[in-house]
A = this chain, B = another copy of it.
Amino acid sequence: MHEFELIEQCFARSGYRRNDVSIGVGDDGAVIQVRDGFDLVVTTDTMVQGVHFFPNVDPRSLGHKLVAVNVSDLAAMGAEPCWLSLGLTLPVVDNEWLKAFAEGLSETADYYNCQLVGGDTTRGPLTLTLCAKGIVPRGKALSRAGAKVGDYVYVTGTLGDSALGLKVEQGQCEISKKHRGHILQRFHYPTARVAIGQALRTIASSCMDISDGLCGDLPHILKRSGVGAIIDVAKIPMSQALKDSCDWQQALQCALSGGEDYELLFTVPEDKRGSLEVLLSPYGVPVTCIGRITGAAGKLELRHLDQPFVYHHSGYQHF
Contact = CB atoms under 8 A, between A and B. Distances in A.
A88 B139 CA distance: 29
A85 B131 contact: yes
A38 B22 CA distance: 12
A32 B39 contact: yes
A28 B43 contact: yes
Interface in A19-40: 22-23, 26-34, 36-40
A143 B42 CA distance: 24
Contacts of A1: 317
Contacts of A279: none
Nearest to A207: B28
Contact of A28 (B28, B77, B117, B119): B77
Given A23-B143, A123-B51, A141-B23, A117 B42 contact: yes
Interface in A110-148: 117-125, 127, 129, 131, 133-134, 136, 138-139, 141, 143-145
Contact of A4 (B32, B41, B49, B319): B319
Nearest to A138: B33
A288 B244 CA distance: 73
Contacts of A41: 29-32
A46 interface: yes
**Tier of interface size on chain A:** 35 or more
Contact of A44 (B42, B120, B134, B318): B120
Contacts of A29: 41-43, 73-74, 76-77, 79, 134
Given A40-B40, A45-B120, A123-B51, A87 B32 contact: no
A208 to B, nearest CB: 5
Contact of A122 (B89, B93, B119, B318): B318
B141 A31 contact: yes
Contacts of A139: 22
A43 B120 CA distance: 9
Given A22-B141, A31-B143, A77-B31, A87 B46 contact: yes
Interface of A: 1, 3-4, 22-23, 26-34, 36-52, 73-74, 76-77, 79, 83, 85-90, 92-93, 117-125, 127, 129, 131, 133-134, 136, 138-139, 141, 143-145, 208-209, 224, 317-319
10 contacts: A4-B317, A29-B43, A46-B122, A46-B129, A48-B122, A50-B124, A51-B124, A89-B127, A92-B319, A129-B131
